[in-house]
Every structure is written in structure tokens, then in C-alpha cells.
């Protein structure tokens, strides 16, 4: 009798856990940003770190943004020494893993920007995954890196120590 009760409780607990997992795609997005481009440039890239804390592999299959006429998933490929962008159908985010969208690699391509970007603005981006889940985020507009490492010491007066 006691064993049967315990079994029933365990089954109930298991179904609660699985329904929570189904509702939560277990996807987290860190540090999203959109690259600032000069006025007149109509395309830019969105970058971020997508983490999958779940137990199932996920595929990012689409991105949407009201700020752009067209949004595509892109990667960079090196073709005979020339870096080129290619549209991809999906970006894999393995269970317990992550996908880094960064300059020179995967990115969300925003094409036909409706308004010029301003630093400090936020661009709404929706990420749609293969399980039907959507992650909505606000990606701040940021200046691109200059390629120069930020090597200034935090406390110049302490540089001699």
C-alpha cells in the first residue's frame, strides 16, 4: 500500500517536471547586440550567445524583427581566402551546449532596415526554434569592435606596481 502511494506520487511529480520542460524551451540568450552601421547602410548583423540548458538538441530555424524587411540566418565561410556570407536553414544548439553568434561566424542578418540605427537603441528580435518555441529579446545597438584590444590598464596610476 505504502509503495503504491509512493509510486503514484513519483508519477505525479514526473509529469509535473515534464510539463514544465515542455512549456520552457530551456533556451537562454546572453549578451545580444546589433552592430551599428552608418546611415544609408541597410543591412547589419545581430549577435548573441544562445544557451540550451535542456536535455534535447534544438535548432534555431528562423529569426524575425520588425526593424528589418527581411531577416535571415547567416554564417561566414572562407572561400579561397575570401570571407563570404551564406544563408543557412538552421543553427544547431545542442542539449547542454551553446551556439555563439559572433562577427565572422553565425549571425542574424537584418536586411532592408526600416530606420537608421542609433547607438543605444534596442532592436526587437524573435528567435524561433524547431520545437515551435519563440524567444523574444531586445538587442541593443552597439558600435563594432575596432579590432584593437582594449589594453589600457583599469587604474593608470597603478601601472608601475
Q: CB-wise, 27 or 46, nearer to Cu ion?
A: 46
CB of 68 to Cu ion, least distance (A): 12
Output 92 or 131, the one with its CB closest to Cu ion. Answer: 92
Q: Least distance (Å) from Cu ion to the CB of residue 91?
A: 12
- Which residues here bind Cu ion, judged by CB under 5 A? 74, 85, 109
Least separation, in Å, of the C-beta of 136 and Cu ion? 21
Q: What are phi and psi of 19, to 5 degrees?
A: -70, -30
Per DSSP, the residues of 36-96 read ---TT--EEEEEEEEEE-SSS-EEEEEEE-TTEEEEEEEEEEEETTEEEEEE-S-EEE-TT
Q: Closest CB to Cu ion among 26 and 127?
A: 127
Other Cβ atoms less than 10 A from the Cβ of 82: the count is 7
Considering the complex, state which of residue 25 and residue 44 has its C-beta at the smaller distance from Cu ion.
44
The three grid cell numbers given for residue 120, joined into one nine-digit string: 543605444
Residue 72: CB minimum distance to Cu ion, A? 7
- Of all residues in the shown chain, the one whose CB is closest to Cu ion is 74
- Give Rg (Cα) of the chain: 21
Amino acid at each position: 500500500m505504502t509503495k503504491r502511494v509512493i509510486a503514484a506520487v513519483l508519477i505525479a511529480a514526473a509529469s509535473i517536471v515534464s510539463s514544465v520542460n515542455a512549456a520552457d524551451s530551456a533556451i537562454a540568450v546572453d549578451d545580444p547586440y546589433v552592430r551599428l552601421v552608418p546611415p544609408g547602410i541597410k543591412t547589419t548583423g545581430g549577435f548573441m550567445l544562445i544557451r540550451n540548458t535542456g536535455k534535447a538538441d534544438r535548432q534555431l530555424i528562423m529569426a524575425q524583427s520588425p526593424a528589418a524587411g527581411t531577416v535571415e540566418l547567416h554564417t561566414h565561410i572562407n572561400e579561397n581566402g575570401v570571407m563570404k556570407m551564406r544563408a543557412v536553414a538552421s543553427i544547431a544548439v545542442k542539449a547542454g551546449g551553446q551556439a555563439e553568434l559572433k562577427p565572422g561566424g553565425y549571425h542574424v542578418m537584418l536586411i532592408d532596415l526600416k530606420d537608421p540605427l542609433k547607438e543605444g537603441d534596442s532592436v526587437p528580435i524573435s528567435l524561433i526554434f524547431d520545437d515551435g518555441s519563440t524567444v523574444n529579446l531586445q538587442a541593443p545597438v552597439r558600435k563594432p569592435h575596432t579590432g584593437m584590444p582594449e589594453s589600457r590598464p583599469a587604474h593608470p596610476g597603478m601601472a608601475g606596481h
